[in-house]
Structure 1
C-alpha cells in the first residue's frame, strides 16, 4: 500500500522538502507518493521583493518561477501537484480537506502531513504571496506603479523588510523621492535583536541615502484625501508622538500573519504558531509536522530554512523507512543580513558583525535571483546541497 506524504505549501520550505523526499527517500520507499498543495503555480522569489517593487528593476520571469517543471524528472505516480489550499485538518482520520482554486473541495488522505504554509505581511502588501500567482503578480504591478508615481513615501515598520525597502527606494531614486521610515522603538531592527553596531550602521547608511528616520513613534490613524484638481490623493499619517506626516504613498511593513487558520486551535500557541516538539512534529501527534514560519522553533526568517529542510527530510526518511531513530532538531546559529541598494549593507553571524562589503557582494548585488531557478527546480538549497 502506497505511503503518502502531503505537503501543504510550496514556498521556501515545502517546495525543496518535496524534492528532497523524491530524490533521497523514494529510492528506499518505492511506493512513496508526495502530494504538494499550493494556491500558486509559481514560486515567488520574494527575497528580492524589496527591490522588485521598484519599476524596471527585476522582471516577472526573475521573480516568479513555475513550480511543476522541476518535478517532471521523477517517476510517474510518485508526485502530484494540487492547486489549492487547506481548509481543515482531521488528525483522527488522517485527512486534510482542500479547497481547490476552481472552488471544488476535496479530501486528501495522508500517512504523513507537513504544514509549510508560511506567512504574509499583515497589510497584505505583495512582499510575500497574497493569494494565487495571478493575484500576487497583479498586486506587485500595482505597487510598482504606485512607487514609481509617488514623490513622497512613508514606510512604517523598521524590521528587515521596512529597512531594506526604504534603502532600496532611496538608493534607486536618490533625492527624486522623499522617503521616511517610522521606527516604533528607539532604533531600527529593534525586534530583530541584532548587535548595536549592526543597527547603528543600518541607520547611518539609511541617512546617507537620504531616508528620514522618525523614532519612538507608531501609526495611530490614516486618512486618505480625495483627488483634487487632477492631483493625486495624499495620505495623512497621524503618529503617536503627536505629529502628522503627509505622503503620496504609505507602506505599512510591520507585522506578519501566519497561514495557520486551518489548523485546529489546540495545536497553536497564542501567536498562531504551531507548537512543535523537538523533532519538528506537532505536539501530541505521530505523523503531522511543521516547518518554516508556521512553527515555534525558530525566528520567522529564510536564513534558517536550509537546516530545517535537511532535518525534517531526514526525520521523514526515518519515519517512512522505519530505520533509525527520530533525531531532535538543533536550532541554527543566529544569522542576519540586510542590504540597502547595491552599495550599503551589514549583518552578523552569532555574535560577530560582518564586513559591509561582504554582505553587499554576496546579497546586495542581485538578492540571489541568479540562484532562484536551481532552487525551484530542486537542484540546490540556498546554502547547501540538495
Structure 2
C-alpha cells in the first residue's frame, strides 16, 4: 500500500459510510471513493414516518459531498475480489481498485424469515418498502406490525397516531418491552393503549398472506397491510469475498474495526460484528454504528501515520424510542442489553428523539467532525 496517497474505497453511503468518507477525504491525503447504489442519502431512522405518510426530505449525495474531495460512484457492488483488491459494479464500468476498503453496506429486512413475507409484507428498513406501506395505508382499515423491537414500536405508534381511524395490531414473539425496565414497560403499555394499538404477545408469525398473518397454532389475524420489522440481515458480499464473517454474515472485526482475516479491510455499521476491547459485540443500530465508524477513522489514520491505534471503547448503550410525536422512552442499558439506570419517558424523550434525528440526519452529515467526539480515545 502506498503511504503518501492511498486509495480508500468506502462501500455504502448510510450514516456511517457517508461520515467516514467525509472524514478520510478531509483529514488524510487519501484518494477516497464512495460507492452507493442510489444518488440520495436516506434517513433510515425516519422510515417509520415515511410509512405513516409524513414528508421526509432525501438529500442528494452530491450536495452533501460538495467540497469534501470524495469521489462518488453511484452503482451497485456485485463482487469483491480481495486478492486483487478490486470492486466489480453492476453498471458494467471499469472495476474500482483500492489499497484500503471500508465496508459499510448496512442491513436490510429479513423478508425470507417466513413464507409469504417477501410477497405480501412491507419492510420499514428500506425507504422504497416504507413508501409502499404508505401507499397501502390509504385503503387499509387494519395494519399488522410484526416485530416489537424499537423499529416495530416506533412504526406501530406512528401509524396509530397518524391514522387514528385505522386498527393497528402489534405482534411480538416475546413479551412486550422485554428490553425495558419495569417503568419503561409500564409506560409503553399505557402509550400503546392510549393510541389504540392492539398488542399480541408471545405470538409467532408462521405465514403472511394477502389477508393478514397466520400465527403458529393456527390463528389468523386479518390485516389489509403488514409491516415487517422482525429481524434484519446483511449482504452476502463479505462472505462471498472470503472475508471472515459470523453465523449471520456480519464481517468479523477486531476492536479497531479491522477485518480479522483481511487487514486492508475495515467493517463498520450493521454489516460488521464490532467487538469492543471488553469482549462485547455491538448491537445493530445508528448509535453503535457511529461509534464504530469514528473508531475506524481513528484506527485508519493512526496506522497511516505509523502509530498503533486505540481499540473501540464503549461502556454503555441506550435505546431512544419515539412513540409518536409527543411521547417516547429513553432506556439506558448495558452492552448486553440489560436495562440499567433511570428510564425517561414522555414528551421530554420525544424532544430528545427529534433532536437526535435532526442532528444525525442533517448537522452531522455536513459537519462530520462532530461524530468524532463520541469515540473515546486516550
Q: Distance in 2 between matches of 1:179 and 1:66?
A: 34
What is the CA-CA distance between 1:306 and the residue it aligns to? 2.7
Bigger relative contact order, structure 1 or 2 (CA pairs below 8 A, ≥6 apart): 1
1:290 to 267, 270, 273: 267
**Alpha-carbon distance change, 157 to 108 in structure 1, aligned in 2, over 3 angstroms:** same
1:217 to 199, 203, 206: 203
Q: Distance in 2 between matches of 1:9 and 1:83?
A: 10
Normalising by structure 2, we get a TM-score of 0.85
Whether 2:246 is the aligned partner of 1:269: answer yes
What is the CA-CA distance between 1:128 and the residue it aligns to? 3.1
Whether 2:296 is the aligned partner of 1:299: answer no
Normalising by structure 1, we get a TM-score of 0.83
What's 1:181 paired with? 170
**Alpha-carbon distance change, 69 to 222 in structure 1, aligned in 2, over 3 angstroms:** closer
Which ranges in structure 1 are unaligned for 5 or more consecutive residues? 130-135, 225-234
Whether 2:196 is the aligned partner of 1:205: answer no
Number of residue pairs the alignment of both structures matches: 348
**Alpha-carbon distance change, 333 to 275 in structure 1, aligned in 2, over 3 angstroms:** same
Aligned-residue CA RMSD in angstroms?
2.3
Q: Distance in 2 between matches of 1:381 and 1:306?
A: 11
8 Å contact kept, 1:54–1:148 = no
**Alpha-carbon distance change, 384 to 48 in structure 1, aligned in 2, over 3 angstroms:** farther
Whether 2:168 is the aligned partner of 1:170: answer no
Q: Distance in 2 between matches of 1:111 and 1:41?
A: 24
**Alpha-carbon distance change, 169 to 116 in structure 1, aligned in 2, over 3 angstroms:** same
Q: Distance in 1 between matches of 2:356 and 2:163?
A: 18
2:59 to 61, 65, 76: 65
What is the CA-CA distance between 1:371 and the residue it aligns to? 5.4
What's 1:17 paired with? 20
Whether 2:308 is the aligned partner of 1:325: answer yes
What's 1:248 paired with? 224
8 Å contact kept, 1:171–1:341 = yes
What is the CA-CA distance between 1:384 and the residue it aligns to? 4.5
**Alpha-carbon distance change, 381 to 41 in structure 1, aligned in 2, over 3 angstroms:** farther
